[in-house]
Amino acid sequence: MDGTRTVLDVEEYPDTEVQKNRVLTLEEWQEKWVNRNIAFHQEGGHQLLKKHLDTFLKGENGLRVFFPLCGKAVEMKWFADRGHSVVGVEISELGIREFFTEQDLSYSEEPVMEIPGAKVFKSSSGNISLYCCSIFDLPSRANIGKFDRIWDRGALVAINPGDRKRYADIMLSLTRTGFQYLLSVFSYDPTKHAGPPFYVPDAEIKKLFGSMCNIHCLEKVDAFEERHKSWGIDCIIEKLYLFTEK
């Protein structure tokens, strides 16, 4: 077996700039939900998160956990069921309503006065609050507080590449002392698939987060599925990073 390389040994792809001008509008993301083009949703939850959950939570209680671009992620209920408070932001009202319906949770909704057109959906238990608006409008205009944990799956990889610095700055501004930030990204040949999910190379992760965070890659897994053939690729690696406070 010595010297045998696997797909997990693939080096970083050199064409890191090829997707930099790609832009999806908020309306296009809303249309994905309407048209059920949501293969990114994982009905059983994220298995790498499940595997590393104890590392992420460190046995702490009563944490505030932020889910950027949350969709209807079932992991939100995992954290709430463990007694933590969950705040998410999602542009699709349909996705938010489906979360509460599919998790059999009663909820209320109210406008977010600071952001025209925005709403917040709150579970009756009070420990899940999901904001329906742009991630770029939320923290700057509505006070959502600081967070102990951030679970970034399908968020950084979905943000338009030209907006990553602004996004990362917002995420870091939401962290409390002692935070842990878990990030999932994909590595594939960006010359073959335009994204999203977009390819975020290691060097860019270090550039975006390295000044404030210690960065540790917890795991790399072969994430290739049959559906990825339609992207024109034959290899895709998922990487899970843990950021901690420097």
The reply, when asked if residue 143 is annotated as ligand binding, is no
20 labelled binding-site residue: no
65 is in an annotated binding site: no
Is 47 flagged in the annotation as binding?
no
Check whether 37 is labelled as a binding-site residue.
yes
91 among annotated binding-site residues: no
- 27 exposed, middle or buried (CB, 10 Å; 0-12, 13-18, 19+)? exposed
Distance CA(163)–CA(136), nearest Å, equals: 10
153 is in an annotated binding site: yes
* 134 in a labelled binding site: yes
38 known member of a binding site: yes
Q: Give the C-alpha separation, 45 to 78, whole Å.
A: 9
Question: Residue type for 20, please?
Answer: K
- Asked if residue 60 belongs to a known ligand binding site, the reply is no
> Is 66 assigned a ligand-binding role in the annotation?
no
Q: Is 32 annotated as a binding residue?
A: yes
Residue 90, marked binder: yes
Tell me if 30 is assigned to a ligand binding site. Answer: yes
Q: CA–CA distance from 194 to each of 38, 230, 234 (Å)? A: 17, 12, 15
Helices (H), the chain: 26-34, 47-51, 53-57, 75-81, 93-102, 138-141, 164-173, 202-209
Instruction: Give the Cα separation of 55 and 59 in Å (integer).
Output: 8
Residues placed in the known binding site: 29-40, 69, 90, 134-135, 153
**Which residues are annotated as part of the binding site for S-adenosyl-L-methionine?**
29-40, 69, 90, 134-135, 153
